[in-house]
Chain A
């Protein structure tokens, strides 16, 4: 059974830092792109970042570029999101998600087939 379990959320002051973790199990972690997706309170879903299987490619939404860093440790089956210079607008539930691309389909066809339960990040003084 595929499982994704996030941790590391909490209350942090504006300008502070936080590191989120996602522990993966039930599949070959090193074979998949992985992503972080967030959801502000009462709002919709927003993709934040993703990382290639070997960590060689990383992509970010413009609003977090230069502040957030996605990384992974395939030996530990773990995904991370280092969040620096946090702002009030970063307040959200952060989900770890497995990115899936069916064989023969272009990258544009990527979707998210498994999600963690989410971890809440609150940025407030």
Chain B
């Protein structure tokens, strides 16, 4: 079974910062990776699929890259509404999550 490991698990940043979250797969998964944002008490929201394709309606400050076993989610300039938990996903497997908190 494929395992996805996100780093870091916790991230503290300020409004306006550029942040990067990494997701590593235990074996090559081509570009088959999606990223989600989840706020407390809410359902996850799809941000990016196929590693780098932005879902319709998602702000362009979000971007994804990578292929094979290493992937990144980048937020170019953090906004107050971006503080949340982020998950990567490949088919039936989710990463453990990265909680992005306000510094």
Cβ of A75: which chain B residues have Cβ within 8 Å of it?
none
Closest A residue to B96 by beta carbon equals A44
Contact A117–B34 (Cβ < 8 Å): no
Docked complex Cα distance between A47 and B42 (Å): 17
Contact of B46 among A37, A112, A118 (CB under 8 A): A112
Contact A115–B94 (Cβ < 8 Å): no
Q: How many A residues, CB 8 Å from partner?
A: 24
B78 close to chain A: CB less than 8 A: no
Cβ of B95: which chain A residues have Cβ within 8 Å of it?
44
**Contact A118-B43, Cβ < 8 Å, known A44-B96, A47-B94, A61-B92:** yes
Contact B94–A46 (Cβ < 8 Å): yes
Within 8 A of A (CB), among B51-103: 55, 87, 89-97
Minimum CB–CB distance from A38 to chain B (whole Å) comes to: 11
A19 close to chain B: CB less than 8 A: no
B44 close to chain A: CB less than 8 A: yes
A-B pairs under 8 A by CB, number: 61
A95 close to chain B: CB less than 8 A: yes
Closest A residue to B46 by beta carbon equals A113
Docked complex Cα distance between A61 and B29 (Å): 19
Closest B residue to A62 by beta carbon equals B1
Contact A109–B50 (Cβ < 8 Å): yes
Cβ of B55: which chain A residues have Cβ within 8 Å of it?
113
Contact B89–A108 (Cβ < 8 Å): no
Contact B29–A108 (Cβ < 8 Å): yes
Cβ of A112: which chain B residues have Cβ within 8 Å of it?
34, 36, 44, 46, 89
The interface of chain B, by Cβ under 8 A from chain A, is 29-32, 34, 36, 38, 42-46, 49-50, 55, 87, 89-97
Q: List 7 interface pairs A-B (beta carbons < 8 Å), by A numbering.
A: A44-B87, A45-B97, A105-B32, A106-B32, A109-B31, A115-B43, A118-B43
